[in-house]
Amino acid sequence: MFIAAATRIFTLRFKATNTPTVNKENIIKATMLAAFLLLFLLGSRFQAEANKVVCLEEKCEKPHAHGELNFHEQFPVEHQDSFGVATVKSSANFWIANASGMTFALVIAGAGLSLVLSYKRIGSFLETRGLKGAALGSVIGMPLNMCANCSAVASVGINARSGSAESTLGVILGGALFNFIGIATMFTLFDPAVVVSRIVFSLMMILIVVPLVSKTIVSRQQSVLNDKVANAISCYFPEKTFLQTMVKAFEDWLILTGNLAIKLLPLMFLGTVLVALFRVLFPNEVLEEIGHYNPLLVIVIISFIGTFLSIPVLFEILLGTVLLQLGFSNGAIAAMLFTAPSYGIFTMVLTREKLGGYKVPIILIATTFLFGIGTGLLADFLTPYL
């Protein structure tokens, strides 16, 4: 879908300008972006997702090695660990679980931004606002196969210059909530009511909440990137040969990747520590303790935990299976499946600057929490009918 959209954009013609619509540089950069995405998906992402499905289906060879997130962790957090040690271990586990995704998020963001800076038409495409901007963003986010954390890195990077808030949030939420493999896996594991309610609230989040909250941003043009280096990327050199243009495309890509890395890696580190702190404060034991509470209260607590819990791609399904095994209701499972992969602490840290401060991120976190409760209630309501 993404490639089809990119192809369509390339067929559009500029009017009243001397610059040709498509030049060598744009073609090379677009090919490079598509190649990086395919490399990521075919090289490791599909395999990693398949491994998670094996664990979900209880065919894993080392089920005893499943850690806090019900998946293999490098540094298991033990009961006797102090708060500090547990936080450090949890941070390391989170970083390692996200390592490939985050690295490729930077790679893809560098390639995407390089194309956006060279090809103004794509830049204006990403500036689309309102419902259309959010929908277009989510369509770009879907094939990334990344969690909200990694897609936030990719999205903030690609939209760094002039992309709209709607497009930025659309990419993040589209990638996190509309992962095709994830949705297909959910249908095989959970009650249809759970998956249907998650899809309904995901659509509402992207198509209603994102355009509405984006309107509250005071400054219309939030550029995370506005410097000499980026300005020099958007040059056009028709006299250069194909080989010279290719070298320039790689040079632009790596410089922009470095440009984004120095800005985003410290934020990613901060987001990881905050997420780890929350994991240590609310370990899986909390889930076991609340099982016998009032069903509505359970959904509220699960929504709260899920909202502040940032997880790598498809880990929400692993957490959903934990809840299923503990005997939780469909509502509680649906609440976790919606809130855990959605907008959270990590994405808040990453997008704060792009969204003009903490106001919009806080509104989005509060909405995620409320929608989590809504997803849970809808799932419980639909269970007898589906």
Partner 1 sequence: MTLQKSIIGIVLFAVQLGIAIYFNASVDLKVVVALAIPTLAYILYKYFSKKYDQDAGPIK
Residues lying near partner 1 in the complex (CB under 8 A): 36, 39-40, 42-44, 47-48, 74, 95-96, 99-100, 102-104, 106-107, 225, 227-229, 231-233, 235, 237, 247-248, 250-263, 265
Q: Identify whether the C-beta of residue 363 lies closer than 8 Å to the C-beta of residue 212.
A: no
**DSSP state string for 331-370:** HHHHHHHHHTTSS-HHHHHHHTTTTTSSHHHHHHHHHHHH
CA torsion sign for 311, 173, 179, 105 is negative
- Cβ(90)–Cβ(68) under 8 Å? yes
Report the alpha-carbon distance of residue 207 to residue 209 in Å, rounded.
6
Q: Which is nearer to partner 1, 106 or 142 (CB)?
A: 106
For partner 1, the closer CB: 94 or 190: 94
**Alpha-carbon distances of 329 from 195, 271, 291, 325, 381, rounded to whole Å:** 13, 31, 9, 10, 11
In the complex with partner 1, the residue whose CB is nearer, 73 or 166, is 73
**Complex with partner 1: residue 116 or 337, whichever CB lies closer:** 116
Amino acid identity for residue 195 in this structure: V
| Sign of the alpha-carbon dihedral angle for 122, 127, 132, 138 | positive
Q: How far is the CB of 158 from partner 1 (least distance, A)?
A: 16
Apex CA 354: angle with CA 353 and CA 357, to 5°? 45
- Quote the least distance from Cβ 311 to partner 1, whole Å: 17
Say what angle helices 24-40 and 2-11 make with each other, to 10 degrees: 180
State the number of CA atoms in the 13 A half-sphere of 132 facing the CB.
6
d(CA 374, CA 113): 36
Closest distance to partner 1 from the beta carbon of 177 (Å)? 24
- The least distance separating partner 1 from the CB of residue 120, rounded to whole angstroms, comes to 17
Least gap, CB of 107 to partner 1 (angstroms): 6
Shortest gap between Cβ of 102 and partner 1 (angstroms)? 7
3-state secondary structure of 297: helix
Residue 234: DSSP 8-state: S
Query: Which one, of 350, 319, 261, lies nearest residue 66 by Cα?
Result: 319
Tokens representing residue 227 in the block: 């410097």
Give the nearest distance from C-beta 41 to partner 1 in angstroms: 9
Decide whether 98 or 367 has the Cβ nearer to partner 1. Answer: 98
Pick 95 or 119: Cβ nearer partner 1: 95
Closer CB to partner 1, 265 or 386, in the complex: 265
Nearer to partner 1 (CB atom), residue 9 or residue 27: 27
Backbone angles phi, psi at 245, to 5 degrees: -65, -35
Closest approach, Cβ 251 to partner 1, in A, equals: 6
